[in-house]
Structure 1
Amino acid sequence: MRKKRMTKLLSVASVIGMMIVLAGCGGSEGTGGQGPINHAHISGPTGSGWYPMSVLFADIWMDEMENFNVTVVEGGAIGNIREVNRGEDAQSGFAFASDFADAVQGTGVFEGEVQENVQAIGALYPAWWNFVVMDDSPIQSLEDFIQQGGHTIPGNPGDASELTTRRVFEAMGYTYEDLEKLGVRISYGSYSDAATQLRDGIIDMVVQGGAPEVVGLSEIDASRPVRPLPIPDDVLQALDEAGYGYTVDMVIPAGTYRNQTEDIPTVVTMSILIVHKDMDEEIVYQMTKALWENLERIRDEQPGRGQWMDAERGYTEIVNPEENIHPGALRYYKEIGVAE
């Protein structure tokens, strides 16, 4: 019989003072034989694909690891890296490979702010950036969106979705200031709020990460079709040349959304799992092992994301993996032969 589930969704602030142990940071020898270890895992916004994946991972860890209690907290990609780097309110979390590369090198949004305390467990699956309008919208392209003075919610300031939106528009030759002068409105909010406002006609476009579909948008699509906008080839080339760490040769496959009959080119980045570097090596080893040895369960419960997961790619898709993967996870990759 499985343990009683302890997975919850809380704001990061509400976790302060709740954590009894810093999720195994320091010198513990694993979870067996100890009192409970309370671990905070920081996910994505409600309505994002990271949340159900985080709940599933938490369930797997609690099933496989004795006395390991996991609380899932809401977060956002770039903020997640900073939270895990601090290690106070979250000890593991989701991030994007491109943001992680910036974080450990002190580049991009982390310019001059190297995140020295964050390491990776591994890469998980691609996240496709969905620039989505309602299917009955007159907007047929990103240039249409600009010229028609569209209104978008690309997430919250500093989110990976917001940063990607900014970079795509800049690759098209427009800063946010340029867009504002042209009548474009950029507001901020969670994935779920943005999806609701898109459905209700309050905004014209959302930008959200999916694998490849976005959960909240698929729910809308079931009753009112939505439509992803393509990113032009020259914009994709400019993004690639800028060295942001995006993948630019993948598409949102035809049929991802109800009325989508063609593949849609877009930018892609890998979703990855990160931990605080001071987490106990044995605990991180157990976390890594539990995930990869429950791959069949992940693929069964989350097929859209789980189908892309592979332990070898989990190692190789991390920038400088021998340096940036936590020793506990690295131990597992060496054990199964994907790392030397």
Structure 2
Amino acid sequence: MKSLGLVFGAALAFATMAGAASAETRVTYKSAKSGSSYYQMGVELAEAMKAGTGGDISVTIEESQGSVQNVMEVRARGGDYVFTTPPALVGLAQEGRAMFEDRSVPAFDEIRALFPIPSLTMHFVMSEETGATKLADLEGTTILLGKGSFGATEGEKYLEMFGLSENVEIADVELSNAVSALKNGQIDGFVTAGSYPAPNVVEAAASTPVNVISMSEDQIEETGRTRLVIPAGTYSGQDEDIVTTSLPVAAFTTTKMDDETAYQLTKTYWEQKAKMSDTSPWWAGVTPELMANITTELHPGAARYYDEAGITAGGSGQ
């Protein structure tokens, strides 16, 4: 009888441990290339989820080659898949347009939004010596655009759009060398896109006097991008708000995710955001107002949280 009791006790302990293990919800978060700011955000978000749920939600970070790949993988992923991409890209996928032409599948219609993350924010960073305070002042300067990035493509588009492409020299320097090239006078300025405060802009502003250019309301409207204000004081020597353009980015999943997991992910994200901001200031740029940029249908679990929190899809409290 004693041995039978020991066997029963061991079985009960095993069942208890198995139940505890099964209580952990595992999520895969696919964001960007390792080494990028968005990959680092994913790492920070995973740590926040672990802390905020007491380990009940475990997030594994996966490297990605870009937002299009993230969307395409919806076709083969399950209910544990969370990914980041601009909301506009989800719209293109669901409509079968642009890079998703002839590649649209029913799975795209099941994509649902969770929460916004820091936006890709355009920065035109100019040496203070140039006296440049607006885009027109770039005429006659040497600018570093970089290659292959959103910032490089967008910067080139703006130069063409505002009649500057023939009057600005484009430096053949890697973006990773922008700060040193600016300090030693190789370039007059550089263009970069990243969540603010952008590390390379922080470094540049701390090492040499710079102006981060504001765009006019008409210019912003002409670009077709989302208006964003970088608050005064974000960068050294920046005494006024910077008005610029941005590309909103958000976290998504699909209807395969259960409502409770989507609810806990969304709730924990917003509850941990302040702590994340203390470590990495780019999280401070995420506010309920960014919900206005999410055009994709919310996951029912996420919608439940926003209803409880009094946050509307328009980004303001109810």
Return the TM-score normalized by structure 2: 0.69
In structure 2, how many angstroms separate the alpha carbons of the residues matched to 1:104 and 1:306?
31
Contact between 2:95 and 2:104, CA under 8 Å: does it hold in 1? yes
In structure 1, how many angstroms separate the alpha carbons of the residues matched to 2:254 and 2:186?
40
Shift in Å at residue 59 of structure 1? 0.4
Contact between 2:46 and 2:60, CA under 8 Å: does it hold in 1? yes
Contact between 2:263 and 2:302, CA under 8 Å: does it hold in 1? yes
Are residue 56 (structure 1) and residue 50 (structure 2) matched? no
Question: What is the identity, as a one-letter code, of the residue corresponding to 1:58?
Answer: A
Once the two structures are superposed, the pairs formed by residues 296-311 of structure 1 within 5 Å of their partners are 296-306=274-284, 308-310=286-288
Q: Match of 2:294?
A: 318
Cα deviation per residue 1:216-243 (whole Å; 9 max; x = unaligned)? 221232222332123244322322xxxx
Q: Match of 1:39?
A: 28
Greater shift in the superposed pair: 118-127 or 104-113: 104-113
In structure 2, how many angstroms separate the alpha carbons of the residues matched to 1:97 and 1:278?
19
Return the index of the structure with the highest Cα Rg. Answer: 2
Shift in Å at residue 152 of structure 1? 2.0
Match of 2:85 among 95, 106, 120: 95
In structure 2, the residue corresponding to 1:207 is in which secondary structure? Answer: strand
Are residue 82 (structure 1) and residue 72 (structure 2) matched? no
Q: Match of 1:215?
A: 199
What's the Cα RMSD here? 4.0
Count of aligned positions: 286
Shift in Å at residue 166 of structure 1? 4.0
Q: Match of 1:24?
A: none
Unmatched 5+ stretches in structure 2: 1-19, 314-318
In structure 1, how many angstroms separate the alpha carbons of the residues matched to 2:308 and 2:222?
40
In structure 1, how many angstroms separate the alpha carbons of the residues matched to 2:62 and 2:83?
9
Shift in Å at residue 121 of structure 1? 1.0
Shift in Å at residue 57 of structure 1? 0.8
Unmatched 5+ stretches in structure 1: 1-30
Q: Match of 2:143?
A: 151
Identity %: 23
Contact between 2:119 and 2:194, CA under 8 Å: does it hold in 1? no
More helix by share: 2
Match of 1:261 among 216, 239, 242: 239
Return the TM-score normalized by structure 1: 0.65
Cα deviation per residue 1:283-304 (whole Å; 9 max; x = unaligned)? 3332212212323423433445
Cα deviation per residue 1:157-187 (whole Å; 9 max; x = unaligned)? 4x3x24432442343146xxxx3x6563376
Contact between 1:126 and 1:270, CA under 8 Å: does it hold in 2? yes
Q: 1:260 to 1:306 in 2, by over 3 A?
A: closer
Contact between 1:130 and 1:229, CA under 8 Å: does it hold in 2? yes
In structure 1, how many angstroms separate the alpha carbons of the residues matched to 2:283 and 2:172?
29
In structure 2, the residue corresponding to 1:257 is in which secondary structure? Answer: coil
In structure 1, how many angstroms separate the alpha carbons of the residues matched to 2:241 and 2:56?
45
Contact between 1:41 and 1:72, CA under 8 Å: does it hold in 2? yes
In structure 2, the residue corresponding to 1:266 is in which secondary structure? Answer: strand
Greater shift in the superposed pair: 95-104 or 220-229: 95-104
Q: 1:227 to 1:73 in 2, by over 3 A?
A: farther
In structure 2, how many angstroms separate the alpha carbons of the residues matched to 1:292 and 1:261?
29
Cα deviation per residue 1:312-331 (whole Å; 9 max; x = unaligned)? x4644311x5xx22333234
Contact between 1:38 and 1:70, CA under 8 Å: does it hold in 2? yes
Q: 1:231 to 1:102 in 2, by over 3 A?
A: farther
Q: 1:155 to 1:254 in 2, by over 3 A?
A: farther
